[in-house]
Structure 1
């Protein structure tokens, strides 16, 4: 989740830090009182909030087999020489099972092995799945105080997740009327104080991590009616020697929702001259 970023003091402070480190390494305190104290681990909470509802994203919203849902939350604090995946490269077997079947055991074993063999993964965290499109799940994890998170997360950091790519009608989250797509989910990362009593429990979590909250309301997104292309013109019907009429039809591909544009006409007629008179 970040890269270690040790502090870089200057001048006399640098020498003091170096001497203190050497003294601690040799087990010899400097001066009359020991300066060797273990640096505390920084504690963080990560909260995933799903906002995928039929009101917010009505187009192709899954209702059955399976309904809209989110998999379990899984991650790790690690050094820069490790990554769960890299763009343009094949994923590991564990990540493939997690993405395709929502099975996390193989991926967790891979991350734990990287921590044991490569010393790259410092801490693995997980949280339960969200059984619906809306809801929250949360976990807590620890990282060294020299980790870059300690400097970059002074307060709550909220990251929005959208699904606007690809910009194509086949995309289930394609809404051309909207200037910006509302977030389908958010991830909140917060640094916790050392004393757990000073941290008020978040609503729906009972004061602890690894719990799933109830469903949350979501804003409504208007969905315009979608119709198919016109069919070809039918035969010209009418008495011989007189003007006739021909017609073509189209069908509804998606019903309007949340005050979206209504469906246009599904049948159209045009004048013609019968060409099959006997």
Structure 2
């Protein structure tokens, strides 16, 4: 029996390699799922760390009603024939309700239905919400060879329909489980609400768009809360670290303290403290006022503009808010 299992294992690897080779020779895309032959199961701890600070993301940073924070994290362990969400595809009803309102009921029912119908889902879990943009939350979960993929979604609060997450992160590497995986996270737009700012009112996107990554230049609109044209890339707004636990895992006091950010961990630098420059934004000029002056002499008229967004983190300072030019007096004053 053991010999048959070994033969099956290596035959799988052979066919995957052969199909990939044929695809590359013929110039055809071949989507072959990696085979997990790791024995038994593995237990992991997921630690989600928010990096949504006012210095990293100063534009429209929400300070109250509500302040910057994160919703509960919804995670799923599954096989390759299931996706809770996918980039460049339409969000499900459950993802729409969760990303817009933080309501997870429909999303949980969708996951449960997938597990009952095609046995593609092994488990679903939730990690607590965070009341600040730079908070931290964690949860432990299990994976098996048949269900070695992890996906999760967590809503950016407040926002129109923005979230972060991972889609189908494989914790299996051939015949063994990965010890640790860290992923920097960037914002996504669910494509169901057309708001530009964190506190935009509900404005449904009709027809619905696909899920897209938000960048420093996309959407290319100055009203967008993530629009930083001077940046080539946005800083990571969050980070997730998934660590494999030992069979008899004992959490030391130093581990608890380090995960709570109470003591430093080596030479690690927290890049959430990076300062993102925010340039001053001003309104358009008002119309010119009346020309004031003495008859027979050159007069002066004025126009003004106001500051829409104050600069931060050594961004470009505000230009003059008042402008003048010479004119012929409209109402002569003797």
TMscore range, shorter length: 0.7 to 0.9
Q: Secondary structure at the match of 2:109?
A: helix
1:246 to 273, 298, 301: 301
Is the Cα–Cα contact under 8 Å of residues 42 and 150 in structure 1 kept in the other structure? Answer: no
Q: Which has the higher contact order (CA 8 A, sep 6+)?
A: 1
Distance 1:58 1:121 in 2: 39
How big is the shift at 1:39?
4.2
Write the distance in 1 (CA, Å) between the matches of 2:139 and 2:97.
Answer: 22
TM normalised by structure 2 equals 0.63
Alignment partner of 1:97 is 2:97: yes
Alpha-carbon distance, 1:275 to partner: 4.7
More displaced stretch, 245-254 vs 231-240: 231-240
CA pair 231-75 structure 1, distance change in 2 beyond 3 A: same
Equivalent-residue separation in structure 2 for 1:240 and 1:179 (angstroms): 55
Q: Compute the displacement of 1:238 (Å).
A: 1.1
The equivalent of 1:149 in structure 2 is: 171
**Aligned-pair distance for 1:121?**
0.3
Q: Cα offset for 1:274?
A: 2.4
Partner of 2:274: 219
Q: Cα gap change, 1:15/1:175 in structure 2, threshold over 3 Å: closer, same or farther?
A: closer
| Aligned with 1:179 (options 232, 255, 258) | 232
CA distance change for structure 1 residues 167 and 195 in 2, over 3 Å: closer, same or farther? farther
Task: Report whether the alignment pairs 1:188 with 2:241.
Answer: yes
Cα distance, 1:185 vs structure 2:
1.0
Post-superposition Cα deviations, 1:142-192, rounded to whole Å, max 9, x if no partner, equal 111463521176343222223423232111122222333211111222333
Structure with more of its chain in strand, by fraction: 2
Per the alignment, residue 183 of structure 2 pairs with 159
Q: Give the stretch that moved more between structures: 218-227 or 72-81.
A: 218-227
State how far apart, in whole Å, the 1-side matches of 2:309 and 2:117 are.
53
CA contact (8 A) 2:305 2:322 kept: yes
Q: Kindly report the root-mean-square deviation, in angstroms, between the aligned alpha carbons of the 2 structures.
A: 3.2
Q: CA deviation at 1:263?
A: 1.6
1:91-127 Cα shifts (integer Å, max 9, x gaps): 12x3233222212233223312322332110111210
CA distance in 1, matches of 2:303, 2:99: 44
Cα 1:43–1:260 change in 2 (3 A) is: same
Cα distance in 1 between the residues matched to 2:71 and 2:8: 50
TM-aligned CA distance change 1:198 to 1:270, over 3 Å: closer
Residue 228 (1) aligns with residue 280 (2):
no
Give the match for residue 28 of structure 1.
Answer: none
State the match for 2:124 in structure 1.
124
TM-score (norm 1): 0.75
Unpaired runs of 5+ residues, structure 1, are 1-8, 19-37, 207-215
> Given the superposition, is the C-alpha separation of residues 157 and 168 from structure 1 closer, same or farther in structure 2, using an over 3 Å criterion?
farther
Gaps of 5+ in 2: 12-37, 149-169, 188-214, 262-270
Shift of 1:266: 0.6
Determine helix, strand or coil for the equivalent of 1:160.
strand
CA distance in 2: counterparts of 1:17 and 1:180, whole angstroms: 42
Tell me: CA distance 1:12–1:166, structure 2 relative to 1, closer, same or farther (3 Å).
closer
Residue 138 of structure 2: SS of its match in structure 1? strand
Larger radius of gyration: 1
Instruction: Check the 8 A contact 1:225/1:263 in 2, yes or no.
Output: yes
Could you tell me how far 1:255 is from its partner in structure 2?
1.2
